[in-house]
Structure 1
Amino acid sequence: MRERLSSVRYRYMLGMVVDATGSGMYVPMSLLYFHHVTGLPLTQVGVIMTTASVIGLVSNPVAGVLIDRFGARTILIGTYVLRAAAFCVYPFVHNGVAMFAVVLPVALGDTSYPPAIQSFVAEIVRGTERDKLLALQRSLRNAGLGVGGLLAGAALALDTSGFYVVVIGAALGYVAAAALLGTIRSGTAEQPPGTRVSRKGGYRMVARNRPFLGLTLLNIPTAFGYMVLSVALPVYLTRELDAPVSLVGFVYAVNTVGIAVLQVPVSRVLVRYRRTRAVALGAAVFALSFTTFAVLGSVSTGAALIAGVFAATAMFTAGELLHGAMASALVAQAAPEETRGRHLAVYQLSWAVPIALAPTVLTALLSWTPTGMWLLLAAGAAGAATGVLRLERTLPQGAVHPVPPRAEPALTTTGPSRKAA
């Protein structure tokens, strides 16, 4: 069994690295790519991509049903193939209509991917192995994204035709990831392959699962917090704090390198404790980071400001280390097996909606009151931390405890807690 699990982990992580490398080549260049090949203004390109992303949200509930009906691996591979096919058409796009026609299937695949990959992990590993695999995934994906960015930069440095190298490279990455993950048979953790059933009325079951809906709603303010690094922080640093543009790159490097290097060792420690406590602590550290960024607005430029920015970024990274992998494992285990796809599809909306709205909401708040934006984000994260702790008693004990309590082995089963502890 150990050899089998080791082989599964190796193929899974290799697939994640290939996936992340391809994504890292394209994601930072997406706006520039279509601006280059179509000649459209960047603002119009942004509107088209945002519109496709919002429409793509409709695939989320559909993906949940399909995962429960056909299994996570089938849908996961489908998301890769769909996006790879669209990327292969990118070089032939020369106007706004054609652009929308190719970015929409990518948006559909992007939105369907998270519940599929989370369900897939839940099917192939269990217990602390799930936490460890998710931690390793976050670490290696950050490294893969960095490598992909470097490859894209090298391709574009040679010639403008490097844009086409970028999109074809991303397509090849998706195809390779699909091939690697397709060799892993799902159902090794909790049920044999081929026993997947589709439960009718699945979304009604999700609606009646109040603890799970609570986790979903509480994740929304935290998800908005995750978006500050790419949306709000660069503007805040350069416009409100008059920091040099180069500082933005260093701050991003602190975060990505920190996750890549520290996620695995941090998660090895966290699996000894309740997942809810780690998730709540991560949200609380986010709140502390956002409060620090708010205070920096009153700090004069100089060494104190730079030190404060890096301290706040380090706290943000620590919050991500505590929250990220443990939250994924908590939610995957809290979702009932029969309707896991639909449960995780609903949970994914707590990420997809903030991702779609963050550019508009955060920039509007920045324009209105930068300090208020940070304090609002801090209050949201603190509220999420408190809420998760209050939910702990109602969540399945198998979700709360990576390692079942020794004195109560019966609590390893998935289901509502019958114990007020």
Structure 2
Amino acid sequence: MKRLSVQSRYMLGMVVDATGSGMYLPLSLLYFHHVTGMPLTRVGAIMTTAALLGLVGNPLTGVLIDRYGARAVVVGGYVLRAAGFATYPLVESAVPMFVVVAVVAFGDVSFSPSIQSFIAEIVRGTARDRLLAAQRSLRNAGLGAGGLIAGGALALGADVAFQAIVIGAAAAYLAAAALIRSIPQSRAAGTAAPVRAKRGYRLVAGNRPFLVLTLLNVPTAFGYMVLSVSLPVYITQELNTSDSLVGVLYATNTVGIALLQIPITRLLTRYRRTRVAALGGAVFCAAFLSFAALGAVSARTPVLVGVFAATLLFTLGELMHGATASALVASTAPEATRGRHLAVYQLSWAIPTALAPAALTALLTFSPTGMWLLLAVGVAGSALTLIRLEPALPVQAVRPEAAEPGDPAVPREQAQEKTPKPGLTGPRSPQP
């Protein structure tokens, strides 16, 4: 294993992790329904409650990252989830189910801020964008592979298949933990001294540009959820298309991310991250407007063409926004309190993810067109505000090649101007 490079070990860990997750995610509800006999509605309620409880661990995750390093929290989260999955076969009723699902939920909550912090520790500059792109690409492939493995196991029709899947997922998390654990801790000694817990989150609260960046992600996070929440209902009930089209559209998005994320991100690293992320938001806006317009079309062929075109637009927006926005946020967070900052930012994903099923379904029931227009306005507003926020963000976060790797995170209006390069909207104008 030591012969593999740091990035190779990291990516192998992400593939193993995603394969294990892909094995279980498609049958998470069905598993407990099968082994306990509880109704699906009750299983779903228990899982949702446990997931919301898991959010309580979010502030603790930030403190642990800043005190013990991101690698320790990533590995700990994997071990916690592995322990939870290993006890799934012992669950026979509601209370034990809630306990083990809550354990896994705490591990899930720790993943995003800790893995983003870990990436920020092992790579810098545009290499961070490229590694995030590779992660998104390979994780999509791993999720698909895991789903195929689960499908093959369940095709056998035996109870042991369900148990084999959850034990296999536990083993995958342990293997991913071992791979990440083998990567040397790269935080330089003395560069990021631990911050006292009582003071750490006050520093986050005082970082207004970062808080604005966090709030701007909320409408976009709701936008990301439409593919799994709103779109299946909209195209089958409002546009009267076949149920099978849902799977085709989801596969189109997943395969598109897996195949194109790396080359597109490599192409876009020459531009300012704020502009790329904002342009991704604009493409999301165009996709939502396209879906809204399809409500006025009655002919079947134009509807099918339009649905695929809008889904491709959505996928392009995700390709432009996903890895770039993650790199922007990780680079904006100060090193000493990066864990706390990213834990706060994670709430801008976790809360919309929890609320999206109820909120988007209610909007879709009230007015399908109105839902798409509201989403379009939300992501467009976020994109425009992100451009206005750009001068307040650290120079190396906006344009990673404009500062040396060791430069402190200083706002762009306070940083000495480096050699300008063309941006997505033309040459960079002088700062006031």
Q: Same fold (TM over 0.5)?
A: yes
SS of the aligned residue for 1:392 comes to helix
Distance 1:108-1:194 versus aligned 2 partners, 3 A rule: farther
- Could you tell me which residue of structure 1 aligns to residue 243 of structure 2? 245
Q: 1:197 aligns with which of 193, 196, 200?
A: 193
Is the contact made by 1:185 and 1:193 (CA closer than 8 Å) also made in structure 2?
Answer: no
5 Å-filtered alignment, 1:181-220, equals 181-187=180-186, 191-192=187-188, 196-200=192-196, 201-220=199-218
1:416 equivalent to 2:415? Answer no
5 Å-filtered alignment, 1:374-393, equals 374-393=372-391
Distance 1:163-1:6 versus aligned 2 partners, 3 A rule: closer
Q: Measure the CA separation in 1 of the matches of 2:405 and 2:355.
A: 43
Is the contact made by 1:139 and 1:261 (CA closer than 8 Å) also made in structure 2?
Answer: yes
TM-score for both structures, normalised by structure 2: 0.93
Is the contact made by 1:336 and 1:415 (CA closer than 8 Å) also made in structure 2?
Answer: no
- Note the alpha carbon deviations across 1:153-172, whole angstroms, 9 max, x for none: 00000123211111111111
- Could you tell me which residue of structure 2 aligns to residue 19 of structure 1? 17
- Could you tell me which residue of structure 2 aligns to residue 350 of structure 1? 348
Which moves more between the two structures, 361-370 or 303-312? 361-370
- Could you tell me which residue of structure 2 aligns to residue 315 of structure 1? 313
**How far is the alpha carbon of 1:95 from its aligned partner?**
1.1
Is the contact made by 1:59 and 1:108 (CA closer than 8 Å) also made in structure 2?
Answer: yes
Distance 1:71-1:410 versus aligned 2 partners, 3 A rule: closer
- Could you tell me which residue of structure 2 aligns to residue 165 of structure 1? 164
- Note the alpha carbon deviations across 1:1-34, whole angstroms, 9 max, x for none: xxx9970010000000000000001011101111
Q: Measure the CA separation in 1 of the matches of 2:384 and 2:293.
A: 23
**How far is the alpha carbon of 1:411 from its aligned partner?**
10
5 Å-filtered alignment, 1:131-170, equals 131-161=129-159, 162-170=161-169
SS of the aligned residue for 2:184 comes to coil
Distance 1:37-1:332 versus aligned 2 partners, 3 A rule: same
Q: Measure the CA separation in 2 of the matches of 1:303 and 1:50.
A: 39
Is the contact made by 1:121 and 1:130 (CA closer than 8 Å) also made in structure 2?
Answer: yes
Which moves more between the two structures, 113-122 or 35-44? 35-44
- Could you tell me which residue of structure 1 aligns to residue 177 of structure 2? 178
Q: Measure the CA separation in 1 of the matches of 2:298 and 2:365.
A: 20
Which moves more between the two structures, 296-305 or 338-347? 296-305
Q: Measure the CA separation in 2 of the matches of 1:55 and 1:308.
A: 40
SS of the aligned residue for 2:270 comes to coil
- Note the alpha carbon deviations across 1:203-253, whole angstroms, 9 max, x for none: 111111111001100000000100111111111111111110110011001
Distance 1:228-1:325 versus aligned 2 partners, 3 A rule: same
- Note the alpha carbon deviations across 1:21-71, whole angstroms, 9 max, x for none: 000010111011111111111111111111111111111111000100000
One-letter code aligned to 1:23: S
- Could you tell me which residue of structure 1 aligns to residue 322 of structure 2? 324
1:223 equivalent to 2:218? Answer no
Stretches of structure 1 that go unaligned for 5 or more consecutive residues are none
Stretches of structure 2 that go unaligned for 5 or more consecutive residues are 416-430
Is the contact made by 1:285 and 1:315 (CA closer than 8 Å) also made in structure 2?
Answer: yes
SS of the aligned residue for 2:5 comes to helix
1:38 equivalent to 2:33? Answer no
Is the contact made by 1:280 and 1:385 (CA closer than 8 Å) also made in structure 2?
Answer: yes
Is the contact made by 2:191 and 2:336 (CA closer than 8 Å) also made in structure 1?
Answer: no
Q: Measure the CA separation in 2 of the matches of 1:411 and 1:285.
A: 34
Q: Measure the CA separation in 2 of the matches of 1:371 and 1:283.
A: 19
Q: Measure the CA separation in 2 of the matches of 1:165 and 1:218.
A: 42
Is the contact made by 1:273 and 1:402 (CA closer than 8 Å) also made in structure 2?
Answer: no
**How far is the alpha carbon of 1:192 from its aligned partner?**
2.2
- Could you tell me which residue of structure 1 aligns to residue 7 of structure 2? 9
One-letter code aligned to 1:198: P
TM-score for both structures, normalised by structure 1: 0.95
Q: Which runs of 4+ in 1 moved over 3 A?
A: 193-196, 409-413
Distance 1:193-1:237 versus aligned 2 partners, 3 A rule: farther
- Could you tell me which residue of structure 2 aligns to residue 93 of structure 1? 91
5 Å-filtered alignment, 1:356-371, equals 356-371=354-369
Is the contact made by 2:125 and 2:405 (CA closer than 8 Å) also made in structure 1?
Answer: no
**How far is the alpha carbon of 1:416 from its aligned partner?**
2.0
One-letter code aligned to 1:108: F
**How far is the alpha carbon of 1:83 from its aligned partner?**
0.5
SS of the aligned residue for 1:57 comes to helix
One-letter code aligned to 2:409: T
- Could you tell me which residue of structure 1 aligns to residue 60 of structure 2? 62
Is the contact made by 1:284 and 1:382 (CA closer than 8 Å) also made in structure 2?
Answer: yes
One-letter code aligned to 1:317: T
Is the contact made by 1:53 and 1:107 (CA closer than 8 Å) also made in structure 2?
Answer: yes
Q: Measure the CA separation in 1 of the matches of 2:158 and 2:299.
A: 39
Distance 1:413-1:194 versus aligned 2 partners, 3 A rule: closer
One-letter code aligned to 1:140: L
What is the aligned length? Answer: 412
Superposition RMSD in Å: 1.6
**How far is the alpha carbon of 1:193 from its aligned partner?**
5.6
